């Protein structure tokens, strides 16, 4: 019971996800399954991003870097054995001339992404709040320029086609559940709590003996690994890897999802990604046109982007902490003592604000 209660915020996220996936798997169209799989992969990335952003309060624009590194690393190992020696001639001979099994190559790819996060984190996390945030954008630009021009290894701006497609909706769900649990355990761990303390009040946290550098560095590295996992999943969901998938567009869409859901809680991330993914897809279908009882109607093209932008504005104006307001889903039946505690907290907050 205690475990159930302690893990309730996770269960409240995971169980609905499983139910939704089950329903889609049973009754959904092929398109719905693909869209949901894509959304789950996006969720893995968003949770990875949240592990750093949500806990540290430092917005990162650079996590697509790790996603790209892992996706390319997996492509190098598993893609197109026939074409690889010609189109990616710059790879080291043992990678160029061999094709590696899927699971080991997924693991090494995630490892490489984590290693890149670790090395860049060593430097970037020394920077203060806003500088760290902008420096992650610099990291993304560096990756993009290097990959775009390193044509013998990355095929430049061209698309790498022919990765084995093995990510199903259930595979994506399993990965999502694992990272949600991981993220929850991390945010309640000693390091997670220390990092959250720095988010709320840097000076006070430092005065209490928390190292800004190490707490941020650990979260950054860990989230780099998870972003890498998302990269591998994405590559093997699409079967293609293209640099333009790992740049500003996708970064901003995911940041928008975090903002809308509320980036200070795990529940906010899940709700944000699920909601925006669903709304986007419904509107896309509406743009393509629905037909109901022989009548077909369509909304004008561009509605999807417009609705997304307006939603974000409304959220920013009226609920600046996002839909979830930085809260997790709580155990709905608090014990007496808990209830008292909540009352006390309410009273305290009223006093503070008055």
Q: Which residue ranges make up the site for another protein (CB under 8 A)?
A: 29-31, 34-35, 38, 82-83, 86-87, 89, 151-152, 156-159, 161-162, 165, 238-240, 242, 244-245, 284, 287-288, 301-302
Supply the minimum distance, in Å, between the C-beta of residue 187 and another protein: 29
Instruction: Please choose, from the candidates 60, 51, 98, the residue with its C-alpha nearest in 3D space to the C-alpha of residue 78.
Output: 98
CB of 148 to another protein, least distance (A): 9
Q: Residue 25 or 287: which CB sits closer to another protein?
A: 287
Given a contact cutoff of 8 angstroms between Cβ atoms, the answer to whether 179 and 48 are in contact is yes
Q: Cβ of residue 297: shortest distance to another protein, in angstroms?
A: 16
DSSP category for residue 244: G
Q: How crowded is the C-beta side of 127, counted as CA atoms within 13 Å?
A: 15
Provide the 10 A C-beta neighbour count for residue 310: 10
Q: Closer to another protein at the Cβ: 35 or 219?
A: 35
Q: Which is nearer to another protein, 157 or 349 (CB)?
A: 157
Smallest gap from residue 223 Cβ to another protein (A): 22
> Which CB atom, from 83 or from 314, has the smaller least distance to another protein?
83
Write down the least CB distance from residue 30 to another protein, Å.
4
Q: Nearer Cβ to another protein, position 140 or 182?
A: 140
Q: In whole angstroms, how close is the CB of 267 to another protein at the nearest point?
A: 26
CB 158, min distance to another protein, A: 5
Cα–Cα distance for residue pair 222/8, rounded to 1 Å: 23
Angle between helices 129-149 and 64-78 (to 10 degrees): 30
Q: Which two tokens stand for residue 121?
A: 């984190």
Q: Give CA 339 to chain center in angstroms.
A: 34
Residue 172 CB-half CA count within 13 A: 30
Q: How far is CA 135 from CA 115, 126, 198, in A?
A: 18, 11, 19
**Residue with smaller CB distance to another protein, 34 or 330:** 34
Cβ atoms 270, 13 nearer than 8 A: yes
Q: Which is nearer to another protein, 195 or 255 (CB)?
A: 255
| Cα–Cα distance measured from residue 256 to residue 132, given in angstroms and rounded to the nearest whole number | 19
């Amino acid at each position: 019971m205690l475990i159930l209660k302690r893990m309730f915020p996770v269960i409240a996220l995971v169980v609905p996800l499983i139910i939704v996936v089950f329903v889609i798997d049973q009754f959904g169209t092929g398109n719905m399954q693909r869209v949901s799989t894509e959304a789950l992969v996006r969720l893995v990335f968003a949770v990875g991003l949240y592990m750093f952003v949500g806990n540290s309060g430092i917005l990162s624009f650079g996590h697509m870097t790790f996603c790209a590194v892992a996706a390319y690393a997996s492509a190098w190992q598993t893609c197109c054995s026939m074409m690889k020696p010609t189109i990616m001639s710059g790879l080291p001979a043992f990678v160029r001339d061999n094709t590696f099994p899927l699971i080991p190559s997924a693991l090494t790819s995630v490892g490489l992404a984590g290693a890149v996060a670790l090395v860049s984190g060593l430097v970037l996390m020394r920077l203060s709040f806003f500088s760290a945030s902008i420096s992650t954008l610099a990291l993304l630009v560096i990756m993009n320029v290097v990959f775009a021009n390193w044509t013998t290894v990355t095929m430049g701006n061209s698309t790498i086609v022919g990765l084995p497609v093995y990510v199903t909706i259930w595979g994506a769900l399993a990965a999502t559940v694992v990272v949600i649990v991981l993220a929850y355990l991390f945010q309640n761990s000693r390091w997670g709590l220390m990092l959250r303390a720095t988010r709320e009040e840097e000076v006070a946290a430092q005065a209490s003996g928390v190292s800004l550098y190490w707490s941020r560095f650990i979260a950054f590295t860990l989230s780099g690994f998870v972003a890498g996992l998302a990269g591998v999943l994405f590559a093997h969901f699409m079967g293609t890897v293209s640099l333009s998938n790992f740049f500003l567009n996708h970064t901003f869409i995911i940041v928008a999802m975090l903002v809308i859901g509320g980036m200070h809680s795990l529940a906010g991330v899940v709700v944000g990604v699920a909601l925006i993914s669903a709304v986007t897809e419904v509107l896309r279908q509406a743009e393509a046109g629905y037909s109901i009882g022989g009548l077909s109607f369509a909304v004008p093209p561009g509605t999807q982007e417009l609705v997304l932008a307006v939603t974000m504005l409304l959220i920013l104006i009226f609920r600046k902490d996002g839909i979830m307001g930085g809260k997790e889903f709580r155990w709905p039946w608090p014990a007496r003592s808990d209830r008292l505690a909540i009352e006390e907290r309410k009273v305290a907050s009223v006093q503070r604000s008055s």
